[in-house]
Structure 1
């Protein structure tokens, strides 16, 4: 079964139909989630980003399925370099950080906050920065220093950013003022 999953991942593309098929495969065979996570967190595998696409879809619909794998995700999340994987992991971080069904450990929160701040100050794409801001504003409800840091980063970078970034930044600033 593991070989079937890996073969499907390697042959997959970014089409919605393909990604939905892989997501549904994992929903039908939850015992394969461990292998999907291993594939998606193997940063040396040239196709790891394809597994991240599926992890992202699972996080959106059934976040609690990722519960046994959160430490693995948190330990590798800062190592992603592929733009598509980074975008997907920013969504995974968002869904993990905002889930009402999951209680993160301090280590897990710390790792998610750290990478979200890194994504904001690095030269990442807008979608990644948008999810990072949304995740941080959620954590900022309990940790006021996060809101202060977030406001400072947004104020500093706002003028140079795209319209999409500015729209999310305005929304986030409205929540923290």
Structure 2
């Protein structure tokens, strides 16, 4: 059974057990990241969400899984509009950058920076926005304007946002301040 048929016929769900089964299938069958990304875009919308959640779980545990397919991943992932998928994508990029800030090349980092600002400014779920501000913190030294814009955006939204955004926003502001005083 090919991988597309497997994920089309074995309807996984968002339960931890089901996502773990999907993740283990990917690992046991040694499915390359590019092939799995093709699967994600070959199944129905409901399964696509589940597979993005499985990919999120997979990358959290096997941080280098996407390393050979970063261009393809970003090309597809950063164009996503479904909130659940965006949340998973932002978590995946967060974990990757937390582990290795130099994983992405300069062009990829610029693409991530622009998308994360869009996801913060445009209506996105709070989890996506919280991950996005932390991703931008990791990439703050990539472009001269990122730090200034990130600080302004967080400060502008401190009174208007959910508690999780406020908490992470304050944390990022403190980290940026510490970084500024070290220089």
User: TM-score, normalized by length of structure 2?
Assistant: 0.86
Partner of 1:71: 71
Structure 1 ranges of 4+ moved more than 6 A = none
Partner of 1:50: 50
CA distance in 1, matches of 2:98, 2:55: 16
Q: Find out whether 1:157 has 2:157 as its counterpart.
A: yes
Once the two structures are overlaid, the 10-residue window that deviates more, 71-80 or 116-125, is 71-80
- RMSD over aligned Cα atoms: 2.0
Residues 117-172 of structure 1: CA deviation (Å, up to 9, x unaligned):
11110111111011111111111145453221111111112211011110110111
Question: How many corresponding residue pairs?
Answer: 174
Partner of 1:114: 114
Partner of 1:17: 17
Partner of 2:181: none
Give the structure with the higher percent helix.
Answer: 1
User: Is the CA contact 1:154–1:169 (under 8 Å) kept in the aligned structure 2?
Assistant: yes
Larger radius of gyration: 2
Partner of 1:123: 123
CA distance in 2, matches of 1:157, 1:70: 31
User: TM-score, normalized by length of structure 1?
Assistant: 0.88
Residues 73-129 of structure 1: CA deviation (Å, up to 9, x unaligned):
111223212221111111112123333286211121111111111111011111101
Partner of 2:80: 80
